């Protein structure tokens, strides 16, 4: 990415702002809950707890839920079990030895259940990466402060923060793009089901809100229009997408901070959700459409990096350094 020249006083102001927000935590975030419509398509807290428990304890009973989710009594748990079953998110089956006992299972054939599980996998991996990256921001912030006190140029550190910020936002930006555009054409069997579409986007919106608030832990409150415009340029001028080039760059940045394992887990979750539709989103993957190779993002990135090395070597051979031929 292009390097940015920064005024030292301006940079010092940014550093102080970052220090303040990292020490004090999230401030003035406000209420992120949207006004409720006449029908609430989001999962409520009880539904999420019940789904999560059943997923980890397949075949549990209502009594098992009541015992282990002591926060709620029989009536609300029973009501939410009925709602989840009615919507097809869970299955209720009679025990094979005792028909009076009803066992609860996740309906793995329900597209909404798959969506919830995929988004949860991504969210947990992404949150862990954010938590680990926060410490690197603190280290960069401290280093920049030392450099500025010494009267030296901190532009290089500023650009490193910019690179880290861009790499951190790539998965979040892609997940928004994926669910807002590609899915418009990927599930024709659900087009006529208004309730399904509303429920689906309510689940996505709920997850996006949680991720957005988590990112606030990294976002500095910048004091001036100049530094705010820098932050927006980082976001809008970047080509977000799961191209081999972007993935390679993202891993390179996080490898610098010994966070590549966490970044790879985030990419794993994104790839599981998205690999099948990538040929329609990026021409890079068109030839891999329907092929088994498309499932392995690591091989795709490795092949890209090897190809880049080959072409770079080829360029050097075609344009050798002739400085030694000239005698002063």
Name the pLDDT band for 173 (thresholds 50, 70, 90). confident
Tokens of 283: 């021409």
31-75 pLDDT, tens per residue?
433 333 334 556 778 888 888 888 888 888 888 888 888 778 888
Q: Are 137 and 164 in contact (CB under 8 A)?
A: yes
The residue count for the chain: 328
- Strand spans (E) along the chain: 60-61, 90-94, 102-106
- The Cα–Cα gap between 183 and 179 comes to 6
220-249 pLDDT, tens per residue?
544 444 344 444 555 544 555 788 998 999
Residue that wins the pLDDT comparison between 154 and 183: 154
Q: Give percent above pLDDT 70 in the chain.
A: 73
Tokens of 243: 């191209």
Residue that wins the pLDDT comparison between 211 and 282: 211
* Residue 17, burial from CB neighbour count under 10 angstroms (0-12, 13-18, 19+): middle
| pLDDT at 326 exceeding the cut of 60 | no
- Expressed in percent and rounded to 5, the helix, strand and coil fractions of the chain are 70, 5, 30
In DSSP notation, 254-274 reads HHHTT-HHHHHHHHHHHHHHH
Whole-structure pTM over 0.85, yes or no?
Answer: no
| pLDDT average, residue stretch 212-216 | 84
The pLDDT, as a whole number, for residue 261 is: 94
| pLDDT average, residue stretch 187-206 | 72
First-to-final CA distance of the chain: 37
199-213 pLDDT, tens per residue?
888 888 888 889 988
**Region of 110 on the Ramachandran plot (φ > 0 left; ψ -120 to 50 alpha; else beta):** beta
123-137 pLDDT, tens per residue?
999 999 999 988 888
Residue that wins the pLDDT comparison between 297 and 218: 297
Residue that wins the pLDDT comparison between 297 and 290: 297
Q: Are 257 and 136 in contact (CB under 8 A)?
A: yes
Name the pLDDT band for 262 (thresholds 50, 70, 90). very high
Q: Which residues contact 71 (CB under 8 A, 6 or more apart)?
A: 49
Residue that wins the pLDDT comparison between 150 and 154: 150
């Amino acid at each position: 990415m292009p390097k940015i020249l920064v005024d030292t006083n301006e940079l010092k102001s940014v550093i102080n702002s970052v220090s303040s927000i990292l020490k004090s935590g999230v401030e003035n975030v406000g209420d992120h809950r949207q006004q409720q419509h006449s029908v609430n398509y989001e999962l409520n807290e009880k539904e999420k707890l019940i789904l999560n428990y059943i997923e980890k304890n397949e075949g549990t009973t209502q009594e098992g839920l009541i015992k282990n989710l002591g926060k709620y009594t029989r009536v609300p748990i029973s009501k939410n079990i009925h709602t989840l079953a009615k919507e097809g998110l869970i299955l209720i089956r009679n025990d094979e030895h005792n028909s009076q006992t009803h066992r609860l299972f996740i309906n793995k054939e329900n597209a909404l259940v798959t969506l919830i599980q995929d988004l949860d996998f991504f969210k947990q991996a992404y949150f862990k990466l954010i938590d680990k990256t926060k410490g690197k921001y603190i280290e960069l912030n401290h280093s920049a402060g030392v450099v500025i006190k010494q009267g030296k140029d901190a532009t290089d550190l500023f650009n490193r923060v910019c690179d880290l910020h861009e790499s951190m936002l790539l998965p979040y930006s892609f997940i928004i793009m994926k669910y807002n555009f590609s899915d418009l054409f990927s599930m024709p069997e659900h087009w006529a089901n208004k309730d399904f579409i509303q429920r689906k986007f309510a689940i996505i919106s709920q997850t996006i809100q949680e991720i957005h608030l988590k990112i606030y832990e990294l976002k500095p409150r910048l004091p001036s229009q100049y530094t705010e415009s820098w932050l927006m340029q980082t976001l809008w001028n970047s080509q977000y997408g799961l191209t081999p080039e972007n993935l390679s760059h993202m891993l390179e940045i996080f490898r610098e901070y010994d966070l590549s394992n966490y970044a790879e887990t985030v990419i794993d979750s994104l790839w599981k959700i998205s690999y099948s539709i990538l040929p329609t989103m990026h021409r890079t993957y068109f030839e891999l459409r329907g092929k088994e190779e498309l499932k392995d993002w690591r091989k795709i990135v490795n092949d890209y990096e090897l190809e880049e090395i080959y072409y770079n070597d080829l360029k050097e051979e075609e344009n050798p350094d002739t400085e030694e031929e000239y005698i002063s």
